[in-house]
Amino acid sequence: MTAADLVLAHSVTIPDFPKPGILFRDLTPVFSHADAFRAVIDEFAERFAGQFDAVAGVEARGFLLSSALAYATNTPLIAVRKAGKLPGEVIREDYQLEYGTASLELRPGQLPEGSRVLILDDVLATGGSCHASGRLIERAGYVVAGFGLVLELADMTGRERLAGYPLHAIMSE
């Protein structure tokens, strides 16, 4: 089975979460299935081979993906956190959600300037968190090597917001 087949077989759609009218795509069952999780990480490693110096994970499910890929490829890992979670100097980027607003933060100076950073997250919907993460990476003096997503919601505007960046979604619906 392909990574996309395994994602489809193990993901769950939860209606009305976190609020009425939202269909939440839960990929945590994919992560709890060893073969599916390995297939996802292997696909990212193959797709972006040689194109990144470090991996960034977007809180929270992006942490699972990025830590596994960083380990598998022996590359540094940086975390893009929700506001107020990192001590010390941080840079902050605000963005819109489908159902509100939020902020992400990054601690600058973790990598050499110009490092190519691959950003990973689970689902691409409006692209708000990925776009904000990309802005943080660039403001920290790094280069966005691309975005790796497990699932792209094709009827949303996420891909448009990330135009100009390499983007790979394992599956689209």
pLDDT of residue 73: 98
Give the chain's largest Cα–Cα span.
45
Tokens coding 140: 């920290």
Active site residue 135: no
CA 140/CA 168 separation, integer angstroms: 23
Check whether 158 has a pLDDT greater than 80. Answer: yes
pLDDT at position 98, please?
65
Q: Which residue has the higher pLDDT, 100 or 68?
A: 68
* Per-chain mean pLDDT for the chain: 95
Q: List helix spans (H) across the chain.
A: 3-10, 28-31, 34-47, 61-73, 128-139, 158-161
pLDDT of residue 96: 83
Catalytic residue among 59, 61, 93, 105: 61
Do residues 52 and 70 touch, judged by C-beta distance below 8 A?
no
Identify the active-site residue in 25, 38, 98, 107: 98
- The pTM of the whole model exceeds 0.85: yes
Average pLDDT over residues 119-143: 96
Residue 98 annotated as catalytic: yes
Which residues are CB-neighbours of 170 under 8 A, at least 6 positions away? 3, 4, 7, 40, 43, 44, 149, 150, 151
Strand order in the sheet with 77-82: 91-97, 100-106, 77-82, 54-58, 116-124, 143-152, 167-172
